[in-house]
Every structure is written in C-alpha cells, then in structure tokens.
Amino acid sequence: MRRINLVGRVERGRPAAVSPWVAGASAGSLALLLASLLVAHATSQSELAVQGGANAEQQAAIGAITSRASDHPAVRAELGALHERASVVAGVQRSRVDASTRLLEMSRVLSRGGGPTLAPTGDRGAGGAARFSTTWDPHRLWLTAMEEEGDRLTIRGEGLSVGDVGELLVRLQASVYFRDVRLERTEQVTAGDDAQRVQRFTLVARL
C-alpha cells in the first residue's frame, strides 16, 4: 500500500467569517502536497534511470545469446528467463511513472486556475457532460490522506462546504487518470480550536 498524508488547510478569498486557524493551516497542506510530488518525481526519475540501465543490459544479453545459438534448448530457456526479467523491470517502471503522474494530476486539480487533464476528444471522463468550475477556489478544500492499494485509490480530506467536496468529485471524474470516482462518505464535523464546521469526506477511485 502506498500512503501519502497531506495534513493542513488552505483558505483564501474567504469572507471574514473564515477562521484564522483554517487560513493559517492551509499553506502546510499545499506545501506538503508539492513536497510529496517532488520527492516522488525525483525518486521515480532516479530509479527509472537505474532500472533503464539494467533493462538495456538485459536486452544486450538477449541479443548476444540469440546470435550464438537461438535453437539450442538451454539457450532458449535462458532467453526466456531474460525476457521474463525484462518484463518485470518494465512493469516496475510503468508503476513508478504512473504514481508520479497521478501526483502531478492531483496538483493540477487543486491549483487555482487549474483543472483536470481531459481526454483529447474533450470527453470529461466518468463525469460525462459534467462541467467543473473554472473559478472555484481550491483553498476551500484540503486533503488529509491519499492511499493506494492495488488499483484502488482512497482520498480523504475536509472542505468548507458540500459544494466544495462536490467540485473536487467532478474534477476527478473528468480526469483521464482516474476511473469510477465516487463519494463514499461525507459528514459535517467540528475541527480546530475555534470549532470550525467543515465537511469531512472520503472519495474512492480506480486507477
């Protein structure tokens, strides 16, 4: 399981009724999200370079064996083992790239003036004709955790209203990087020392 904790809250452009606690904590959420993104991306690139070199060596070995005696039973067995190892390396590479890409996509979804990556045809993903707001302030919502297990992604967080949670749902449904996005749970809770009322939510999606 891959788990990313993103603790913090962001609040800008909020009427005076928004508490300083919410506004002050929001910068931490965005900073931790971006830090997690940069670390995952840097790690992915470094590991991809190492694994890419290993894969190149495997391919060279396959070529050498094939040129020697491709019809020998022992050579064919060795060739099959090398092909299998190369396939495993390629699968790991795809997994690392996908994780980094999803973090980049989440950053776009939660950026002011940003939005999800749409399919080339303009189809808005699972949301179909749903339209996300281009003027929505993403600082009205923050994430507390993202967990991946197999092809299932669970996203937890809090928003200032049901509408803010709905906006995140529509954006993720429109993205080409998430499938079958749905709201699993939402409830109004009191958070912070100033008893700020927020909507705590859980979203699930397939990768």
Range from 1-15, 42-56, 103-117, 187-201 carrying the lowest mean pLDDT: 1-15
Average pLDDT, the chain: 74
Whole-prediction pTM: 0.55
Cα–Cα distances in angstroms (integers) from residue 87 to residues 51, 118, 137, 148, in the given order? 12, 30, 43, 23
Is the pLDDT assigned to residue 183 strictly greater than 80? yes
**Sign of CA pseudo-dihedral 164, 166, 171, 177:** positive
pLDDT (0 to 100) of residue 20: 52
Cβ atoms of 98 and 91 within 8 Å: the answer is no
Q: What is the pLDDT of residues 55-113, one digit of tens each?
A: 777 777 777 766 665 566 776 677 677 777 766 655 555 555 477 888 899 999 999 88
C-alpha span between 80 and 172 (Å, rounded): 41
Q: What is the pLDDT of residues 9-32, one digit of tens each?
A: 444 444 445 555 555 555 555 555
pLDDT (0 to 100) of residue 39: 53
